[in-house]
Amino acid sequence: MSQQQQPPTHPLHGFAQREPDELIQRARAYADELSRRRTVRDYSDRPVPRAVIEQAVRAAGSAPSGANQQPWHFVAIGDPAIKQAIRAAAEEEERAFYAHRAPEDWLDALAPLGTTADKPFLETAPWLIAVFYERHRIGSDGQREKTYYAIDSVGIATGMLIATLHHAGLATLTHTPSPMGFLTEILGRPKHERPFVLLVAGYPADDAQVPAITRRPLPDILTVLSDHSD
């Protein structure tokens, strides 16, 4: 049996070694920053530079992925006509959802958030980012190739996208009308891609309101199994 050829490598560059105290300080500061992130539904139409969106997507594109296949594509929409078309299609799906698709327990869970089928933010916010995942890949020979952990990978990338937009100073909203096939059609994406989420990004309106919610405390979401006393 022939020995498997090892892939090419190069030295790790750009990794900064930090002392424990600095690690803790940086982690705490970033956690504090992200803890101020809130899902916003009331947006200003104040313009946001395209470069902000580009750099946020660049950060998302650095996410880890199964077999490094990077099975994602991001479509940034700032065109008012396209945003209007997306809103119309999304609200049609949402009206059907609230009227007869959603089970009662799901509607009960949504009730404290005050969500409805009306989605004006899809037009008001300066940017929408449609995130797609590849169900499979199309090779250079035109043949179908399998993707690995595509949804998991795109979920991680989307989280990094949201974190970067928040760090830059923008509010976001994850919108997932069901089904979302209209995004594929409106945005002209290939059939081997599927919509994952529609992300709204922009400045919150001056009078923006958010639901009064609480987040689960750290002891409720963390179990530590370690022999370290600190």
The answer to whether the CB of 45 falls within 8 A of the CB of 204 is no
Q: Which pairs with CB-CB distance under 8 Å and at least 24 residues apart come from 6-10?
A: none
* Domain CATH code at residue 175: 3.40.109.10
Model's pTM, two decimal places? 0.92
Across the chain, what does the average pLDDT equal? Answer: 92
The residue segments making up the domain with residue 96 are 38-206
Helix spans in 97-175 (H): 104-110, 121-124, 150-168
Domain-embedded: residue 149: yes
pLDDT at 142 over 80: yes
79-103: pLDDT as tens digits: 999 999 999 999 998 888 778 777 7
Residue 169, Ramachandran bin (φ over 0: left; ψ between -120 and 50: alpha; else beta): left
What pLDDT was estimated at residue 229? 62
Domain-embedded: residue 44: yes
Rounded to an integer, the average pLDDT of 22-26 is 97
Beta bridge partners of 193: 134
pLDDT at 44 over 70: yes
Domain-embedded: residue 218: no
Interatomic CA distance for residues 129 and 3, integer angstroms: 45
Domain-embedded: residue 220: no
Q: Exposed, middle or buried: residue 177 (CB in 10 Å: 0-12, 13-18, 19+)?
A: buried
The tally of domains found in the chain comes to 1
What pLDDT was estimated at residue 115? 77
Q: Quote the Cα angle for 65-68-74, to 5°.
A: 60
Domain-embedded: residue 29: no
Domain-embedded: residue 222: no
The answer to whether the CB of 171 falls within 8 A of the CB of 38 is yes
The mean-pLDDT minimum among 42-46, 142-146, 148-152 falls in 142-146
Q: Is 136 helix (H, G, I), strand (E, B) or coil?
A: strand
